[in-house]
């Protein structure tokens, strides 16, 4: 009698490459708290929260108290068998005024954190900017000012010189598109501005310029062998039906939709369609800027949550058409414009939120379009509510993740050079303007006691890491 294989979860066809890194991701403002402790200066997110702009009245003053509980949090990572951790460095903890006098105690915190990680066999990956700009720089124009890009380069150089003895991978900026479009166009993230399209275009240019300056600073200041790249939420495309023509169409659309971010960072030039789309609102820039922005990176880091546009080939001039797209996808009338302007979430977008193939195409097309040599999935996860998590049964998250990781495994099996996966997030935390209500964690955090409790998904990811396979 034959039956199903009993150990099918460990079959070779579900395994990831040897040495694949399994980790979790967090960001300083979302977890640290200690907002004014040990010499830290205020960030734009402190200001934004204190002004009552976070939906449930939350602030980052305490958040989930990671600043004081980092050792316990490293143990949570260790318990799930994590081999890597992506955290962000709070710029105003290091430079309370954004520039000038550094705060030694701020740097000390990250040194202690990194030492703790290394002592527990967990490789640190540091993000230099996860949206918490020093308020002092915002007061001087923030990302509207070119000086902020320069200050970001200087801060990156300072960190590289002091942490690259123990941190071998740096991400420059997290999700450019979110803080630029939502923070400066729609005003729903800090600094809460609703600038004109031309001003937003300038902010976007300064953000990618800041990235390029940070890449150069790391090359100049960090120990040999230190790797650097962006961590962007690429506006992801996928062929709606997997044919060679539709795959080419998805690649062309990817390049267009990300023209102001990943395309210029990887190619060192704005595409003609991008500039034409911005017309009179185009940013001011020099050819030297473009060279800096296009500084070669060692890897691409990408946050993947969904396919933003399913596309197919068409005989239009662009060669593709969008079959179902989210509000992030530029409308065809203009090749490019700040797309978050379309505030409503159509039904099709909700459906796109369950699009595990984003893992396959979101990594594979980086090779097809830009020849990526190394890729990290810098974020992936889904929110639940407190009610859903109350019993610890975040089964939905496990089902969702299994589907996504199945597609990620398909990518690695096809030779796509994905080196690691960082789950968003280690524990429930402050979800920016949405406050504490969305629960993204593998661990539940009781906000009254700060007690951390593993959810079912933590046990599941531990098994994935242990077997280095989809289970």
User: Which structure tokens are listed for 202?
Assistant: 């300038």
**Binding residue (CB under 6 A) for ligand NOJ from 28, 302, 431, 452:** 431
The answer to the question of whether 347 is labelled as a binding residue is no
The answer to the question of whether 30 is labelled as a binding residue is yes
Reduced to 3 states (helix: H, G, I; strand: E, B; else coil), residue 418 is: strand
Here's the x/- map for ligand NOJ, 302-321, by CB under 6 A: it reads as -x------------------
* 428-445: b (≥16 Cβ within 10 Å) or e: bbbbbbeebebbbbbbbb
Residue 428 binds to ligand NOJ (criterion: CB under 6 A): no
User: Beta-carbon neighbour count of residue 75 at 10 Å?
Assistant: 13
Here's the x/- map for ligand NOJ, 22-41, by CB under 6 A: it reads as -----x--x-----------
Reduced to 3 states (helix: H, G, I; strand: E, B; else coil), residue 218 is: helix
Residue 125 binds to ligand NOJ (criterion: CB under 6 A): no
Residue 174 binds to ligand NOJ (criterion: CB under 6 A): yes
Rounded Cα gap, residues 454 and 466, in angstroms: 17
Rounded Cα gap, residues 21 and 28, in angstroms: 22
Reduced to 3 states (helix: H, G, I; strand: E, B; else coil), residue 48 is: helix
Instruction: Name the minimum Å distance from CB 303 to ligand NOJ.
Output: 6
User: Which structure tokens are listed for 54?
Assistant: 């976070």
Cβ-proximal residue to ligand NOJ, closest one:
175
Rounded Cα gap, residues 255 and 10, in angstroms: 37
Among candidate residues 181, 349, 357, 379, the one labeled active-site is 379
Q: Choose between 27 and 222: whose C-beta lies nearer to ligand NOJ.
A: 27
For residues 143 and 283, the answer to whether their CB atoms sit within 8 Å is no
The answer to the question of whether 424 is labelled as a binding residue is yes
The answer to the question of whether 143 is labelled as a binding residue is no
> Which spans in 320-356 are helix H?
347-352
Scanning residues 434 to 453, which ones bind ligand NOJ (CB under 6 A)? Answer: 440
Q: Choose between 47 and 246: whose C-beta lies nearer to ligand NOJ.
A: 47
Instruction: Name the minimum Å distance from CB 317 to ligand NOJ.
Output: 33
Instruction: Name the minimum Å distance from CB 176 to ligand NOJ.
Output: 10
Instruction: Name the minimum Å distance from CB 424 to ligand NOJ.
Output: 5
For residues 228 and 310, the answer to whether their CB atoms sit within 8 Å is no
The answer to the question of whether 429 is labelled as a binding residue is no
Q: How far is CA 34 from CA 25, 42, 233, in A?
A: 19, 11, 28
Cis before residue 23, ω within 30 degrees of 0?
Answer: no
Q: Choose between 282 and 353: whose C-beta lies nearer to ligand NOJ.
A: 353
Which residues on adjacent β-strands are paired with residue 423? 24
The answer to the question of whether 305 is labelled as a binding residue is yes
Among candidate residues 32, 116, 123, 175, the one labeled active-site is 175
The answer to the question of whether 201 is labelled as a binding residue is no
Q: Active site includes 175?
A: yes
Rounded Cα gap, residues 335 and 259, in angstroms: 9
How deeply is 328 buried, as exposed, middle or buried, from its count of CB atoms within 10 A (0-12, 13-18, 19+)? buried
**Binding residue (CB under 6 A) for ligand NOJ from 424, 443, 452, 458:** 424
Give the position of tokens 């034959």: 2
Q: Which residues are annotated as a binding site?
A: 30, 130, 174, 305, 424, 431-432
Q: Which residues are catalytic?
A: 175, 379
Q: Which residues are annotated as a binding site for substrate?
A: 30, 130, 174, 305, 424, 431-432
Sites of contact with ligand NOJ (CB under 6 A): 27, 30, 174-175, 303, 379, 424, 431, 440
């Amino acid at each position: 009698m034959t039956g199903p294989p009993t150990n099918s979860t460990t079959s070779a066809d579900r395994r990831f490459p040897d040495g694949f890194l399994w980790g979790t991701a967090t960001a300083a403002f979302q977890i640290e708290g200690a907002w004014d402790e040990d010499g830290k200066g205020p960030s734009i997110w402190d200001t934004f929260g204190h002004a009552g702009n976070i939906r449930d009245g939350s602030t980052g003053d305490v958040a989930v108290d990671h600043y004081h509980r980092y050792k316990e949090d490293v143990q949570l990572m260790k318990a799930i068998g994590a081999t890597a951790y992506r955290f962000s460095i709070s710029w105003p903890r290091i430079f309370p005024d954004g520039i000038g006098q550094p705060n030694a105690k701020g740097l000390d915190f990250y040194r202690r954190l990194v030492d703790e990680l290394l002592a527990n066999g967990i490789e640190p990956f540091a993000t230099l900017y996860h949206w918490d700009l020093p308020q002092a720089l915002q007061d001087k124009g923030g990302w509207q000012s070119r000086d902020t890009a320069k200050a970001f380069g200087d801060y990156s150089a300072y960190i590289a010189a002091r942490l690259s003895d123990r941190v071998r991978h740096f991400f420059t900026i997290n999700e450019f598109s979110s803080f630029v479009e939502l923070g400066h166009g729609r005003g729903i993230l800090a600094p809460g501005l609703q600038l004109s399209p031309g001003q937003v275009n300038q902010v976007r240019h300064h953000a990618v310029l800041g990235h390029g300056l940070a890449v150069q600073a790391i090359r100049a200041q960090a120990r040999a062998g230190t790797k650097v790249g962006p961590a962007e939420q690429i506006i992801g495309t996928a062929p709606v039906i997997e044919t060679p023509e539709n795959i080419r169409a998805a690649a062309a659309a990817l390049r267009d939709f990300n023209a102001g971010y990943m395309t210029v960072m990887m190619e060192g030039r704005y595409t003609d369609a991008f500039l034409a789309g911005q017309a009179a609102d185009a940013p001011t820039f020099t050819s030297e800027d473009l060279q800096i922005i296009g500084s070669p990176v060692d890897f691409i880091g990408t946050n993947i949550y969904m396919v933003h546009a399913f596309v197919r080939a068409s005989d239009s001039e662009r060669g593709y058409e969008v079959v179902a797209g989210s509000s992030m996808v530029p409308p065809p009338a203009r090749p490019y414009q700040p797309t978050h302007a379309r505030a409503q979430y159509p039904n099709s977008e909700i459906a796109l939120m369950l699009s595990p193939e984003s893992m396959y195409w979101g990594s594979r097309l980086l090779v097809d379009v830009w020849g990526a040599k190394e890729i990290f999935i810098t974020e992936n996860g889904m929110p639940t509510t407190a009610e859903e998590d109350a019993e610890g049964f975040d089964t939905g998250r496990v089902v969702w993740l299994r589907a996504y990781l199945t597609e990620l495994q398909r990518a690695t099996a096809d030779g796509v050079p994905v080196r690691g996966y960082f789950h968003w997030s280690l524990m429930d935390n402050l979800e920016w303007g949405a406050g504490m209500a969305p629960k993204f964690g593998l661990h539940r955090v009781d906000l009254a006691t700060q007690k951390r409790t593993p959810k079912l998904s933590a046990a599941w990811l531990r098994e994935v890491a242990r077997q280095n396979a989809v289970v």
